[in-house]
Amino acid sequence: MKGTEMIVVLCVAFVLTGSHAWAYQETAVPNGGTIQGTVTLAGENPRPMAFNLVTIPDAVYCGRISTGTGWRIVEDFIVGPQGSLKDAVVMIKDVKRGKPFQTEKVRIDAIDCDFFPFVNVMRDRDKITVINMDPIEHDIQGYETARERGARVLFNRPLPMNPFHKVAGVFGHKHLPGNPMVEKIHLKKGRNVFVMQCGFHPYMFSWGMVVKNPYYSITKEDGAFELHDVPPGTYTVTVWHPGMKSYLEQHVTVEPNETVTTHFQYQAPKGRRSAHEMVKNPHFGLELLGEGVEIIPSLKLQKP
């Protein structure tokens, strides 16, 4: 690898134990069917997490995406006009054989004090590449977790400042990648969710779901998904979203060469979701930045 990129390569290994230790088998699927549908969110948009930039390092640079009042909002629920839900992972739970099992290489960019993409899919022993595109230092904290088990710390490593970032004028930024470094991790004990957060800028998140077969889809803004070349049979289709505490499941029967349509709907969580919410703090206002220092949302003005 060349010195033009600051990359954290994370070797992710998921250890399957007990009754779940069967191996997926690749085979031809001559009469495969398709499962399609949408994932939606019913109810009012959940109350967002928000972080006071004044109390967090790099307030001016990271505040280029902010509310204009000194707060950064975590946009973990992207909901369309008809309730369509972005970043939900739809997967078939119990396919033991089918089409080739290949996943795209996962690359996560730390850019503008955010991680992109917000949700990824990976398989056992995949590599995750993290690239710092910002002229500031980040601190990558990795955890593994699952619905039935608590979180376990995997690593905590600094991601050094990117010295190749260029600034043109007051608001112009040219993002250039920095230099590489490597970190190996392992997902164990039945955990199937990987989450990454910045220890310096805690509003930076990226999630990963470990899948056991190639039948998965991550919804876009329209909430739609399609799973192709599914062997005929009856399966459990599961939906996961990082902002929800539960999975959605449906039993779906796939006929040869046919398309079955199914829809999933989450109920929006109500009330307070986190200790990090936007509240007026008389002791940590914008005046603490000093005279002449401003937090200007020049890249994106967030709306609470």
pLDDT (0 to 100) of residue 170 = 47
Rounded-to-10 torsion of CA 52, 54, 56, 59: 110
SS3 for 195? strand
pLDDT (0 to 100) of residue 13 = 45
pLDDT (0 to 100) of residue 162 = 77
The amino acid present at 253, given as its one-letter code, is T
pLDDT (0 to 100) of residue 22 = 62
- The DSSP symbol for 221 reads T
Could you tell me the CA-to-CA distances from 234 to 93, 96, 188, 248 in Å, in that order? 11, 12, 29, 17
pTM score, two decimals?
0.86
CB-CB neighbours of 109 under 10 Å = 18
pLDDT (0 to 100) of residue 3 = 46
Q: pLDDT (tens digit, 0 to 9) for every residue of the chain, 304 residues total?
A: 544 455 555 555 443 333 344 689 999 999 999 999 999 999 999 999 999 999 899 999 999 999 999 999 999 999 998 999 999 999 999 899 999 998 888 888 899 999 999 999 988 777 788 888 888 999 999 888 866 667 788 888 888 887 776 655 544 566 655 554 445 445 666 678 999 999 999 999 999 999 999 999 999 999 999 999 999 999 999 999 999 989 999 999 999 999 999 999 999 999 888 889 888 776 777 767 767 788 899 999 998 8
**Cβ atoms of residues 235 and 251 within 8 Å:** yes
Task: Specify which residues 41 forms β-bridges with.
Answer: 266
pLDDT (0 to 100) of residue 7 = 56
